[in-house]
Amino acid sequence: MIMGAALLVLLGLGLFVAGLLTGVTAWYWACVAVCAAAAVLIVLARRSMSRAPVRTAAGAAGASGPVAAAPAETVTAATPAGTTESGASAAGAPVPAVRHDEPDDPPVEEVEVTDLLLIVDLTDEVLVVDEHPRYHVADCRWLQGRSTIPLPLDEARTDGFTPCGVCRPDRTLAARARARRSGS
């Protein structure tokens, strides 16, 4: 309604300018007619505005309602997504559990810093046993008779596994890495 009035006023202005430019009286009359129509529209708009506050208030409430509800929805939507994500990572990949040392676990390998620096990023495969804290190389005698799970070394380390003191995987893999470097 207001937009219509504004358009009519613009049209009236255009007609007024046209009248000025051409000097044709008909343009002025057209302008007056358009302006009168605009005035009628504005009056009508004012009348509907005086009744409008209830509606606009309701509209504002309606508008703010969904806006206020939207974050809550995204929060509730995000929470199950996060749950399923962590659930998937817990259920999907068979991540072996790291437990505290038990009496039958081998001691932790004492690793030299130079070896540690070499192996810390390696993705060479090491073997872990579910619910035991050490990782091993394949020929470790402690692994005999146990079911092993292969893991990349960096993953085993970030999962909290520690090197086995019997088979000394860090030293073995560091030696392997040195051999690869000198070979290439």
Residues of this chain that interact with Zn ion (CB under 5 A) are 136, 140, 142, 164, 166-167
Work out how close the CB of 162 gets to Zn ion at its nearest, in angstroms, rounded to a whole number. 11
Secondary structure (3-state) at 100: coil
**30/127 with CB nearer Zn ion:** 127
**49/125 with CB nearer Zn ion:** 125
Which residues pair with residue 163 across a beta bridge? 135
Render 3-62 in DSSP notation, one character per residue. HHHHHHHHHHHHHHHHHHHH--HHHHHHHHHHHHHHHHHHHHHHHHHHHHHHHHHHHHHH
Longest C-alpha distance within the chain, in Å? 111
**70/138 with CB nearer Zn ion:** 138
Work out how close the CB of 106 gets to Zn ion at its nearest, in angstroms, rounded to a whole number. 6
Work out how close the CB of 90 gets to Zn ion at its nearest, in angstroms, rounded to a whole number. 27
Q: Which two tokens stand for residue 44?
A: 């009508």
**144/182 with CB nearer Zn ion:** 144
- Alpha carbons 177 and 99: distance in angstroms, whole number: 29
Work out how close the CB of 137 gets to Zn ion at its nearest, in angstroms, rounded to a whole number. 7
- Alpha carbons 89 and 38: distance in angstroms, whole number: 66
Work out how close the CB of 143 gets to Zn ion at its nearest, in angstroms, rounded to a whole number. 6
- Alpha carbons 163 and 124: distance in angstroms, whole number: 13
**136/157 with CB nearer Zn ion:** 136
